[in-house]
Structures are given as C-alpha cells and as structure tokens.
Structure 1
Amino acid sequence: MVLHIPAGRNGLYLGMVPEEAAARHPYAPITLDHDMDLAPEAGRQITVAELAGLVADTADRLWAAGVRPRDHVALYKSHNFDIYVLACAAARIGATPALLSPALDGETVTALLDRLDRPHLITDPGKLADELARAPLADLTSRVVLVGTDGRPGAVSLADLAGSPRRHPVRLAPDAPALMTHTSGTTGIPKLVVHTARSLYGRFRPQQKLAALIRERETYAIHVSFVHSRMFMALAVVLPKGMPVVVVDDGAPEKVAPLFAKVRPGFVETHPNSFMEWEELVDHPLRPLANVKYFSGTFDAIHPPTMQRLLAASRRHKPLFFQFYGQSECGPLVGRWYTARNAGRANGRCLGFPIPGMTHVRIVPREGRRPSKQHPGFIEVMTDGRAVNYYAEDERFERELNGKWWRTGDVGYRDRFGRIHLLDRAVDVIPNVESTLEIEDTVLGRLPELSELVVVPGAAREPVPVVSTRNNEPLDPLRWRQAVVEFPQLADPVQLPLSELPRTATMKVQRIELSRRLAARTAERSA
C-alpha cells in the first residue's frame, strides 16, 4: 500500500524539493552551461518555479508511460542536467530512480539492468545506438522511455506524451527505497547503493546546518556528476534558500573562466580533481574566482597547495575552503575549513572532526596493533545518513557492517586532539609506504608544474608514481629527484597525459585500474 505522509523530519523527498523551493523563492535563477536534452526549448536560464513545473510535467509523462509507485527507473543517458529533472520526476510519483553513470560501458549497464529486475529504462538515442546497441533490452527492461524523438521500435518517447493528465505527488514511507546510486566499480561491477527518504534526510541535516551559517545569498556554482547523490543533496539545500544556482557540465578551465567571470559565483563546489584543473583560473585575466567567498569539496581530501592557490585567487574578505570527507554510502562524515593563511601549512591527511551530534567515527586496529600513523586502523563510522543496502547484494553490504558501525574501506588514525587522519584506501596500501596520499600532497606542493600525481603499486608491489604535467610538458628529472629525495622507496616516475588516467564519475583516479594498465604495459614491453 502506498502511504501518503507529510514531508518533514521523517524524510527528504527529492520529488518535492523543486516544488517546495518554488513556493518560497519562485523567481530565483538557475543558469546552465548547456541545453537540456529533455527540454531544449527551456534554454539556459530558468527559474526555480520553471524547474518545478518541468519536474511535475515530466512526472505526468512518466506516469502516462506506465511508471508506477515503487517501480525501478534506471536512468542511463548522456550527461546533462535533465538527469536531475528525470530523477526528481520519477521520485515525485513514488518510483525509485537508479542513476547509472553515462561513463559506464554497455556490458556493465547490462549487468546492472539485470540486477534491477526489469526496470523501466530512461535513455536517449545516442546510448541506444552505441553502448546499448547489443543489449537485450526487451528481456532486461519493462519498457524503454526515450528522451528524444528517434529511437528503436517499441520505445516510448517522452516528447509524444506532452499534455498528459496531472498526477498528485506520491510520498512513500520514509524507509522505502527512494534513490539508487552506484559505487565507482573499481573492482568489478558497481554496487547499487540504496537510499531512503529517512537516510537522505540524515545526510541533509548537517549540510543544512552549514548552509544556515552563510548569511549572504551567494551565487552557488556546482560542477559535480549529475548521477551522484551529492547533486541532489546540494540542490535540496540551496534551492530553498533562494540562492542563484549555476550548474556546470563542462568543467574545462577555458569554458569555466568566461562563465564564472559573467556570473561571479560566491560559493563554488566541485570534485577535488576539478579544483586541481581550475588552478589554471588563478592567474586568468578574467579573474573568474575573484568573487568566491566559499570553496567546498565533499568527495575526497584536497591537496593543500590546491586550496592555497584557489584561496589566493579570491578578492573577498577572508575566503574559506570547506573540506569534507564522506562516502556515497554515508554522506558527509568529517570536516574542517581552511583560510588563506593556514591552507598552505595544512596537513592534507588531517580531515578534521566528526560532525557534532550527527556522525561518530572510530578507528579499529588492524592486525592487533594500536592505530597510529605507522600502523593505521580501519575507519568505521555511525551516522543517520548511511544507506540501507546494496540492492540485490545483501551479504555484500552486511560484510561492511560491524553492528551499527560501517567500515568505510579507508585506513587512518585519530590524533591527540581527536582529529581524523586518512592515510589510504585499505586496498591501496603499499608495503613500505606510510601513505601514498601524503606523498602526493608533499610532491604536488613542491612541483606546481604537475597537474596530477598518483602513487600505485607496480608489478612487484613497488610504489610507482604516475605523473601528469600541465600542457603535457616533459618532466624535469632533476626537479623530480629533488622533490622526492625523502621518498627513496619510489620507483621511477611514469608520465601520462591527464586524459589517459582512468577516472570515476566523480573524477577520482581509478587506482586499481591504473595499476592494472601499468602492469599490462610492462608485460607487453617484456614480451
């Protein structure tokens, strides 16, 4: 039975976020750097009220296409802000959107569709003709819903369902599945992470409290993956505040510079690796970062030199850089902020403190040793924002549970002040290396010509530094040796263009895949 309950402290209902925000700030502007495939006629400048209307209209069309409460709706289409619209529309009528990254290959998507047990599939002609060309969609899905007008026979086009009867929103019980996202899939087929309205509210609360500290109505610019839960949490916070929003799809510095020079954002959020790329904007003649008061990263720790350079580009009084550590399964867990004065001296491995009253962190010994920098322990967390399952993989999820505690997969320690230090992912630990991430922080701070540095295990488990330079300039061997003199265990560096580094949807380098590629290249040369 579908339960209709009011939104509030029991849960965060994504399908209602735009409508509830529009009731408070209908004319707040949303700027896009691209046209929506779903509604190209909407243009690149819309209001919150227009967004709410688009979500409601799309929900009506999805109902007309046969989508019903508690149905699974797999979303796999080209990267575009309309992914947010489509997901909210599905949630508005009580369905569960499952967001699949556009970067996933057809084989992986086929496996995930099979796991979802005949979901509705929302896709586009490009994906049908390319990645899904050989997928047995008739067997894998209940129906194919198309964003666009041309496609295969049997697909339902949303464009043909214009004018569908209006449907009232459906709010399911707060512990019913409300959203599925997926993990990076660095070790195989990604896991489908199940969020509920209650767990989404658990991760929404700390972000709402942080936003309440920002009194100014800053223009908020965001560049994160549209299939990541962070996009949905971010807009759930800023839309009700009436903050002007700028949604960035193309994060190339040469595209961001004129956009930011025009909209002058006061709050900027993106992935750590995108922040690294945006270091090019620091000295840009358009001064695109001059009005930024707040920078924020919520995916991984950010290298201190990057924070220092970006803060130096701001002309605002006492700009701040917020750094949060979190996971897809749990949301934000630990955080701290930096100023222009202390960012350069920061210990990049120190993530800060758990969020008071909302998240709890403990360090569990590995191999019976007391956790320390030399012998890091497993980081475990307890939070109301934790997801409830991996869909169709209950045992896999339960393996990471220790009672109410969730094992993050990272290793680290707690210092005498109670701050959490993250040293590595457990699967990335290399013998004779205290922290690959610490090495990367240190060397990147010494060599500004590097755009990326990743230390991964080689064929003999030796630490291999993989470097990318700005503009693909050759690495200076002498400067490299001087920069790594205190890390004699490092093998010779391997230089690759930034574009050749395998990445996740959130722009993190896939270390295991990178290590595999290096091993394959070594084997080819030895053959």
Structure 2
Amino acid sequence: MGVLFDECARRGTATTVRLDRPFDIAPDGGSSYRVAELAELVRTAAGWLAAAGAGRGDRVVIVKENHWDYDLLACAAVRIGAVPAQLSAELSVAALEQLLKRLDAAVLVTTGALARRCAEQGLDLVSTARTALLLDGEAPGAVRLDDVRGRTAPAPRLRSDDEPLVINHTSGTTGVPKLVVHSTRTIIGQLARFESNPVPLIGVRRDDVVVNASSYAHGRTFCWTAVALSREPRELVVLSSHDPDHVDPVLRAYPPTIVEALPASYVRFRSLTERLDNPFRRVRLFISTYDAVHPPTIRAYLHASAHHRPLWMQGWGQTETGPLTFRFHTRRSSARGARSVGRPIPVKTRLRVVDPDTFAPVPRGTPGLVLARTAARCLDYEGEAERWAAKARGPWWNTGDIGVHHRDGHVSLLDREVDRTPRLSCLETEDVLEDRLPQAQECVVLGRPDDVPLPVVVTADGALPGGAWRRAVRGLPAMAEPVVLAWDRVPRTGTGKVRRALLLERLTGSTETPGSGQWT
C-alpha cells in the first residue's frame, strides 16, 4: 500500500479522481487529480511524517475531518515502515482519549480545529504523541506543516505480510471502540485481492464512474482504495460530506454508474432520488456495508435508476473479519424486505450458529450466536489482547450477532447479542416499522431488560402523527409509546450508526441492556 499510487501511475492508470472539496492535506490542490499527482502527494506526505520523527514500526495516528486523504496519509505512513492508525474525528473526546493512550503514537496528524475542540473538553491532543503535526492552524507544542515541508521521502520500506499494516477502530455503537490490527495478508491479500477480481455484472469496468460516500477513517475504505485503483474506472468520485444539498451538484456533474455509501448516507441522500433528473439514473450497482439498510431505502434507489436491471449488493461483516456474507437485491426482491444478509462468501468464509450459553451448535433454522471462520481475521486488538482472545475460539470468531442459518444456506440477522430480547427481533421490527411509516427516515427499537422495547422514530421535523403510529404497530409485539426525534438529535458513530447504548441512556437514564454484552 505504500507504493500503490506509484505502481498505478507507472502502469498508466487513466482514472481521474474528483473530489467534493479539496483535500485537507492539499487545500490549494483543487478538486481533480490524476493518479500520478496522487502518487506525488503520497510521497510528499511520507516526507512530512519522516521529518516529524516517524519511522519503522512506529504508530502514526491520523484524526481529522472526514476525507479520502485519510488513506493517502495512511499510505504515506506505510511507505516509511510505520503503522497508521486511523481515528474518526466523530469519536467522543472521552473515547478518543482512551484510544490514543492505547496507541502511544510517535506522530499524531490532526488539524487546529480539532485540537481546539478537544482542548475545550479537557483533552490536550498535542500531548498524546511524541510529535503532533497540524495540517492547519497552530497549537502550543505542535509542529506546523510548514515546519516539515521539503523533506525528501525515504525509499519505501517493505515489511512482512504478517506484520501489522494498519489499525482501524470499530464503530463503537455500544461503547469505546476496539482498535483492530490488520496485516498485509489479512486486509490486502485476503480481502482487497479477492474483491479486485473481475466479476460479471458487479465488477468495476474501465468506463465506470464510481462514487464513494464513506467514513474514510475506517478499514473498509483502506481496502476500497486498493481495489478501486486496481480496476481503473474512468472516474472515482469521492464524497466527504453527507449533506444531500452539498453532494447533489457533484453527483449531477459526474453521474455515477456504481455507488458505494454508508447506510446513513443512503438515508440522507434519498431525497435526491425524488428530484427531476435524479443523479442516480445511470447506476447499475449500489453497494452497502457497515450496517443494515432497510427495504424502503433500497427500493427508492433501485427505482430511481433507469438501468434495465440495477442491483443492490449488501454485505455483512465486521472490521475484524471483512465481509462474511453478501446478497443481491433487485426491484422485485426488495419488495419482499426479508431480513436476510445472504450466504457466506464461497471459499472465503464459513459460519456456525451456536447456543450463546453453552456454545453447542444449534440446528439449522434455530436462532443463536453466529461464529465465523475466515483467513481475513484481524491479528489483534491494540492494547486489548485479552478482549481479542475472548472472542477467538480456535479458528472461529465470535461475531456477537444473533442470527439464523437457514436450511437453504442463507443467513438472517436478528440482533446484536447485547440488544437481544425475547419479545421480538429489534432489526426485523425496524424493517416493518419503516415500511409502514413513510414519514420515517429511520426507526430504532431499543431492547430493555425489564420492560417492553422502546421505539425511536426519526423524522425530518421530529414529529409523527399519532394515528400513523397506531396503524404501524398493528399485529406487532407490545412496545412502549415511541420517542420521535429529528436526525441530528440521535447520537451516531463516524459511520452514521446509531449509538444505541448512549441513546438508551439519554432516553431512560439507564445503561442496562437485555443481553450480556460480553462479546461487544
């Protein structure tokens, strides 16, 4: 990954990269790049990091505003033999402080605005690493970018395929995220190389315009960066914002044929599908990862496409394992709205469902705790080796999800183990509610240990007619009266997932969950 952009430039990759705003590491560089220019930017950044004191095996923490230059900085760190740790600026200051202590970084790359925000909440961000490198502004004790400009990058430093390559954190929906350590073999050899194989219908072609709207601090985009460049599409369009009005003109200027986005971004951008000349009219493939996407959202995009047979590819996996299952939705299948995440990836993954208390295998069709077996399993949790060991059972990995492996091979997810309740499946109930409540941007059902589940309905204006709710819950298990909130009132992770534990605490004052939570 340290020489990825160099190799693509040497090969003559003709891809043009379009940005919705300039990079934070090159604010005067414009919003359009050729691959050779990106290669030069990575080499330049490698010189900055070396001048700041990063070397072989050192941790280089990157925490800044959301943009694809997270991955350019990570590649620069890899190039000099360091290990990049990408942390989302959307983390709470308390969580960020804990993760920084675990990492003990040689160099921290951040921005003046983030350093000020942390200082206002009691965290001296600059003091968390030997050297803090600010991309803009100033802070006491920090090194400015002007101080390290002009340093020639050292020659690329290779590492073993099994040494740590990159560190990414999990979403953190239930508390402080884990720091997941991957190697070249696990995240590149097992994941990116497999995904880069040409596949009919879903493979990237050279005439494609590929759009990504993601949280670039997460491991998925590090892998995507390798895959997208290797397939040489005509254009890569990078969206750093999740504001539909901001991304609309970019999407109209470069109408995509393939879109990959966070589930929360799909929800936010859904209003664009209803506009005249909607920007998704040329899309043949939509890709979603990270979290469940509910059927009404999937249907809206598939029907917005003018392609004769558009596909929605849904993947289920974890930062620790990469994708474990996948399935495709068509216009016809999305009408059924089943809570299936598809089948295990052939040759790559195996699944086993066990009793959560005894770990004895349960028959097909019976709910239980899902274990996965994959060669892409991460190496460790940085600073929490005992937590990693508690989830590893020989070659099997405890996903912490409750699901059903059906007789025909497909897998249905019911809930995270920490959220499970005998009264209902929170995820299935959310699907039903979103189907029945067209006003809802999102529905969240929170399990409680000694009470009926608490539903939360997210709408554009934070309001919901009483009659609509009564109609929506007909035939469903008992639930409390709903809490109705606007989107910005719901606590979220950097990937847009609802922080269920924090939301439950805010609404009820309690942090108790119905599940054990021992495998979060």
Query: What TM-score bracket applies, with the shorter chain setting the length?
Result: over 0.9
Q: Is residue 325–residue 334 contact of structure 1 (8 Å, CA) maintained in 2?
A: yes
| 1:223 aligns to 2:213 (yes or no) | yes
Aligned partner of 1:284 in structure 2 is 275
Alpha-carbon shift at residue 79 of structure 1 (Å):
2.1
Question: Aligned partner of 1:317: which letter?
Answer: H
SS at 1:423 equivalent: strand
Distance of 1:29 and 1:297 partners within structure 2? 23
| 1:141 aligns to 2:132 (yes or no) | no
Pairing partner for 1:268 from 237, 259, 265: 259
Evaluate the alpha carbon distance shift between residue 426 and residue 521 of structure 1 in structure 2; reply closer, same or farther with a 3 A threshold.
closer
Question: Aligned partner of 1:505: which letter?
Answer: G
With 33-42 and 371-380 compared, the bigger mean Cα shift is at 371-380
Evaluate the alpha carbon distance shift between residue 472 and residue 371 of structure 1 in structure 2; reply closer, same or farther with a 3 A threshold.
farther
Q: Is residue 457–residue 483 contact of structure 2 (8 Å, CA) maintained in 1?
A: yes
Pairing partner for 1:306 from 272, 282, 297: 297
Distance of 1:33 and 1:439 partners within structure 2? 36
Distance of 2:353 and 2:404 partners within structure 1? 6
- Cα RMSD of the aligned pairs, angstroms, is 2.1
Alpha-carbon shift at residue 367 of structure 1 (Å):
4.3
Distance of 1:49 and 1:16 partners within structure 2? 12
Aligned partner of 2:321 in structure 1 is 330
Distance of 1:406 and 1:338 partners within structure 2? 27
Q: Is residue 209–residue 257 contact of structure 2 (8 Å, CA) maintained in 1?
A: yes
Distance of 1:100 and 1:216 partners within structure 2? 32
SS at 2:451 equivalent: coil
Q: Is residue 197–residue 203 contact of structure 2 (8 Å, CA) maintained in 1?
A: no
Distance of 1:185 and 1:271 partners within structure 2? 15
Aligned partner of 1:250 in structure 2 is 241
Evaluate the alpha carbon distance shift between residue 356 and residue 210 of structure 1 in structure 2; reply closer, same or farther with a 3 A threshold.
farther
Aligned partner of 2:441 in structure 1 is 451
1:20-66 CA deviation, whole Å, 9 max, x = no partner? 22223444110110121211121011111111110011102211221
Evaluate the alpha carbon distance shift between residue 331 and residue 447 of structure 1 in structure 2; reply closer, same or farther with a 3 A threshold.
same
Aligned partner of 2:517 in structure 1 is none
Distance of 1:153 and 1:295 partners within structure 2? 45
Instruction: State how 1:134-173 maps to structure 2 within 5 Å.
Output: 134-136=122-124, 140-148=128-136, 150-173=137-160
With 489-498 and 139-148 compared, the bigger mean Cα shift is at 139-148
Aligned partner of 1:31 in structure 2 is 18
Distance of 1:48 and 1:208 partners within structure 2? 18
| 1:60 aligns to 2:47 (yes or no) | yes
Q: Is residue 257–residue 286 contact of structure 1 (8 Å, CA) maintained in 2?
A: no
Evaluate the alpha carbon distance shift between residue 147 and residue 373 of structure 1 in structure 2; reply closer, same or farther with a 3 A threshold.
same
| 1:490 aligns to 2:479 (yes or no) | yes
Pairing partner for 1:398 from 389, 393, 396: 389
Pairing partner for 1:121 from 92, 108, 115: 108
Evaluate the alpha carbon distance shift between residue 248 and residue 59 of structure 1 in structure 2; reply closer, same or farther with a 3 A threshold.
same
Q: Is residue 98–residue 180 contact of structure 1 (8 Å, CA) maintained in 2?
A: yes
Q: Is residue 352–residue 372 contact of structure 2 (8 Å, CA) maintained in 1?
A: yes
SS at 1:342 equivalent: helix
What is the TM-score of this pair, normalised by structure 1? 0.91
Evaluate the alpha carbon distance shift between residue 444 and residue 302 of structure 1 in structure 2; reply closer, same or farther with a 3 A threshold.
same
Pairing partner for 2:422 from 431, 440, 451: 431
Alpha-carbon shift at residue 308 of structure 1 (Å):
1.3
Evaluate the alpha carbon distance shift between residue 152 and residue 337 of structure 1 in structure 2; reply closer, same or farther with a 3 A threshold.
same
| 1:477 aligns to 2:466 (yes or no) | yes
Pairing partner for 2:451 from 440, 450, 461: 461
SS at 1:60 equivalent: helix
Evaluate the alpha carbon distance shift between residue 159 and residue 509 of structure 1 in structure 2; reply closer, same or farther with a 3 A threshold.
same
Question: Aligned partner of 1:70: which letter?
Answer: G
Evaluate the alpha carbon distance shift between residue 51 and residue 336 of structure 1 in structure 2; reply closer, same or farther with a 3 A threshold.
same
Distance of 2:101 and 2:300 partners within structure 1? 46
Question: Aligned partner of 1:143: which letter?
Answer: T
Aligned partner of 1:192 in structure 2 is 179
What is the TM-score of this pair, normalised by structure 2? 0.92
Distance of 1:238 and 1:184 partners within structure 2? 23
Q: Is residue 462–residue 484 contact of structure 2 (8 Å, CA) maintained in 1?
A: no
1:355-404 CA deviation, whole Å, 9 max, x = no partner? 11111111112346874799521111111211110012111100001110
Pairing partner for 1:441 from 420, 431, 434: 431
Evaluate the alpha carbon distance shift between residue 25 and residue 303 of structure 1 in structure 2; reply closer, same or farther with a 3 A threshold.
farther
Pairing partner for 1:351 from 337, 341, 360: 341
Question: Aligned partner of 2:262: which letter?
Answer: H
Distance of 1:286 and 1:257 partners within structure 2? 11
Unaligned runs of 5+ in 1: 1-13, 523-527
Unaligned runs of 5+ in 2: 512-520
Q: Is residue 450–residue 468 contact of structure 1 (8 Å, CA) maintained in 2?
A: yes
1:155-209 CA deviation, whole Å, 9 max, x = no partner? 2223332221242111111111111111233443321111111111212233223
| 1:70 aligns to 2:75 (yes or no) | no
Evaluate the alpha carbon distance shift between residue 289 and residue 372 of structure 1 in structure 2; reply closer, same or farther with a 3 A threshold.
farther
Alpha-carbon shift at residue 110 of structure 1 (Å):
2.3
Distance of 2:433 and 2:99 partners within structure 1? 39
SS at 1:100 equivalent: strand
Distance of 2:204 and 2:367 partners within structure 1? 39
Alpha-carbon shift at residue 211 of structure 1 (Å):
5.5
Q: Is residue 24–residue 242 contact of structure 1 (8 Å, CA) maintained in 2?
A: no
With 24-33 and 412-421 compared, the bigger mean Cα shift is at 24-33
Alpha-carbon shift at residue 247 of structure 1 (Å):
0.5
Alpha-carbon shift at residue 233 of structure 1 (Å):
1.1
Q: Is residue 145–residue 156 contact of structure 1 (8 Å, CA) maintained in 2?
A: yes
Evaluate the alpha carbon distance shift between residue 45 and residue 339 of structure 1 in structure 2; reply closer, same or farther with a 3 A threshold.
same
Distance of 1:184 and 1:87 partners within structure 2? 19
Distance of 1:215 and 1:388 partners within structure 2? 30
Once the two structures are aligned, what percentage of the paired residues are identical? 37
